[in-house]
Amino acid sequence: AMAEFKTLVARLDEAEQFLERASAPAPAASPYAPLDALDAAVSALEELTPRVGVFEKRALEKDPDKKVYGPKMAERVLAVAGRLADVAEAADELSDSLAPLRRQRSGERRAEQQREEEEAQAAAQAAARAQAA
């Protein structure tokens, strides 16, 4: 359990770093970098939430016969659960504030797909004309 706990803490550190990157101003060269960082953070959170939940449930056990952790470990687990909740809340807020950027990116992707389809159609028509000639 200790090894897994350490892995979870390391993954939570990563999620926090992704969120920091997501809330930083986007570099001119990659205007959508914050979205990628946010998606990476959310993906880490989805992975962490159920696992940390298991540790938290054990840490909150009141029955002395069923207690798995000593007071120090229980305290560490609850601190990590608290951090996770904070990170999840920050990710939600960031998701809202980055929504316009996400819409802009999907609009650009749609426009790009449309251009590609039109080019493919034009090429097919040109090929058909060349065959007919």
pLDDT averaged over the chain? Answer: 95
Distance CA(95)–CA(40), nearest Å, equals 12
Distance CA(92)–CA(40), nearest Å, equals 13
Q: Where are the alpha helices (DSSP H) in the chain?
A: 2-23, 33-59, 71-97, 99-132
Asked whether the predicted pLDDT for residue 1 surpasses 80, the reply is no
Question: Helix axis angle, 99-132 relative to 71-97, nearest 10°?
Answer: 60
- Provide mean pLDDT across the span 107-128: 95
pTM for this entry: 0.83
Give the pLDDT confidence score for residue 36 in this predicted structure. Answer: 96
